[in-house]
Structure 1
Amino acid sequence: MIVLSVALALFAALGNAAASVLQRRAAVVDLPDASGGSLVDRFGFVRRPAWRWGAGLLVVSGVAQALALATGPLSVVQPVMATELLFTLVLAAVAFRWPPGTQTWVAFFGMALGLAVFLLLADPAGGVETVPPKRWLISAVPAVAVSIVLVVVGTRLRGSARAALLGSVTAIGFSFTAALIKDVLGLVPGGLGDLFTTWQIYAAAAVGLGSFLMLQATLRAGSLAASQPALTLGDSLLSVVLGVSLFEERISLGWRVLPEVASLGLIAFACVRLSTSPLVSGKEAQRW
């Protein structure tokens, strides 16, 4: 089942990356400068087939991620979803005919290697399908408190520091959304009729929407190079913690801790390098 969940997570990451590239291209290709036009003119790209295909892919990738969470550990699925950056790089290079530079390729393989080594060493396994409410309360209270502090401090800062803090809050939201979705899917065998009487499904929708809105604030706060490492690493690491604390998933530690930390450091470094690439940040639009 681990192999299936990894495959589904990779497919979901590929879908997210393809949607990002398609919608980015729809927003910049052959469109006049509508800064002084009407609201319809400014958002006319939503009528383009590329944008609609991108929106459809987001739905498909969402389903694939849900299936991945249903068939595998949270501490496996969410770190694998970080490969969205790698897929974005490759697809954007093809779509915008802009070959990545040597440093970008080094970062690409560095992130892939770091992720593979971390998952191999951590070897997440086991876990329960549903979470007792008490565990949610124990995990949610400190997460909400930390998020409030980060938002308050972040609003007093500017530039990269603000983007990094808001990106951390977004990562907390995304990791809890994934955990709630996994918990909801664990309740499905009890019957679809009972599914909508549980609080988890409504909490997942609320936290997911809040995380999406926080992501928009994060992207406006500063450069992608500042926010992306916090988003990618924060989501992956917290998901591992939630997998252990909520779903009783097991990860290997002991002598593996140091190489695991080293692999995470490699992922962080590569993440920063990839985030500065025009193909990932969206600056390739200046050429169109």
Structure 2
Amino acid sequence: MPRDPGSADGRRHHGSVISVLFAVLTAFSNGAASVLQRRAARTVPDSEAMRLSLIGHLVRQRLWLAGIGLVIVAAVCQAVALATGPIAVVQPIFVIELPATLLMAAFVMRVRLPRRVWYGVAAVTSGLALGMASAAPGGGSTSVHGMAWVPALILTGLFEAALIGAALGSRGNTRGALLGVAAACGYALTAALMKDAMARLEGGGGATALLTSWQLYATAAAGVGALFLLQNALQAGTLVAVQPMLTLGDALISVAYGVTLFGEELRTGWWVLPELVALALITAGCVELARSPLAAGTPAPPAKRMR
């Protein structure tokens, strides 16, 4: 029987559809922004790494500013998605951002994608479908209860400090990968804080409750920190090293926040096996796609352009 739109199940289904739709829009915007920011970051000298002057170099580049514009669009779409669905549903959908971006770039530039890229697209999308079907994330509350944020923020800070410390002691792709994970953790934290902040709108206090909540301003701080780490990751290493760490790290750490802070549920037991297969597919697909010249912002040679 069809769901009654006025019933509790009907409202949950409607909210789930909206959250998935806006999560997909977020993925498209974030994917395009990542490629634009990668092209801009590669023009910055190595001497500017982990310095605020790095941002000074980037703001003078139109590509980077266009990427920031897309980041803002993505943030709005993400807020809607998180306000209407579980974080463990919304954040993993973002793994499609890279394949979606490559497909859009190929269409706009009229470039014929090689077969290996299509294999990568198939691996990521099928891995996401398998993972979501196996884990079946759902349930949970819309806000964080009590003092649960205190240990979560402490552990997150220690994890970030360890990653950044290890990154500063390395170079090249290793530094890029470590900073990519650190940026992913920052974006996952941003999503969790954003979801908790958006819950204030439904708590009866309206916009006033949202504007006076510490979570809103912590969201902005975490987002800026994650953006700074991402720029340094892209400047230090190749997209092949950074993108898989960013994509998978964001999804996995977000799921961890969803389960521990919001009480969301995932299937366990034998379902873990197909979930691991899904992770392997997504990882292999992201690595393959990140190797594409389009992902690095390099046009394909004329011989491969579509007529």
Q: TM-score, normalised by structure 1?
A: 0.86
Letter in 2 for 1:279: L
The Cα offsets for residues 82-121 of structure 1, whole Å up to 9 and x where unpaired, read as 2111111101112223221111110111100001100111
> Which shows bigger deviation, 149-158 or 95-104?
95-104
Of 210, 214, 224, the match for 1:199? 214
Matched, 1:235 2:238: no
Matched, 1:94 2:116: no
Matched, 1:5 2:19: yes
* C-alpha deviation, 1:58, in angstroms: 3.9
RMSD over equivalenced CA pairs, Å: 2.6
Q: TM-score, normalised by structure 2?
A: 0.81
The Cα offsets for residues 24-63 of structure 1, whole Å up to 9 and x where unpaired, read as 99x8xxxxxxxxxxxxxx97763xxx98876654433321
Of 196, 213, 216, the match for 2:231? 216
Matching residue of 2:136: 123
Residue 126 to residue 136, structure 1, CA distance change in 2 (3 Å)? same
* C-alpha deviation, 1:218, in angstroms: 0.4
Letter in 2 for 1:14: F
Q: How does 1:111-190 map to 2 (within 5 A)?
A: 111-189=124-202, 190=205
Contact between 1:228 and 1:271, CA under 8 Å: does it hold in 2?
yes
Return the alpha-carbon distance in structure 2 between the equivalents of residues 242 and 20 of structure 1. 23
The Cα offsets for residues 245-284 of structure 1, whole Å up to 9 and x where unpaired, read as 0111111111100110111011011111111111112122
Return the alpha-carbon distance in structure 2 between the equivalents of residues 162 and 151 of structure 1. 9
Of 273, 276, 282, the match for 2:291? 276
* C-alpha deviation, 1:127, in angstroms: 1.1
Matching residue of 2:28: 14
Contact between 2:137 and 2:264, CA under 8 Å: does it hold in 1?
yes
Of 259, 274, 281, the match for 1:259? 274
- Counting matched residue pairs gives 271
Contact between 1:21 and 1:91, CA under 8 Å: does it hold in 2?
no
Of 260, 265, 272, the match for 1:245? 260
Return the alpha-carbon distance in structure 1 between the equivalents of residues 250 and 91 of structure 2. 7
SS in 2 for 1:246: helix
* C-alpha deviation, 1:169, in angstroms: 0.5
Matched, 1:225 2:240: yes
Matched, 1:64 2:77: yes
* C-alpha deviation, 1:11, in angstroms: 1.6
Residue 172 to residue 260, structure 1, CA distance change in 2 (3 Å)? same
Return the alpha-carbon distance in structure 2 between the equivalents of residues 61 and 163 of structure 1. 23
Residue 275 to residue 186, structure 1, CA distance change in 2 (3 Å)? same
Aligned-pair identity (%):
43
Gaps of at least 5 residues in structure 1 are 28-41
Return the alpha-carbon distance in structure 1 between the equivalents of residues 292 and 175 of structure 2. 21
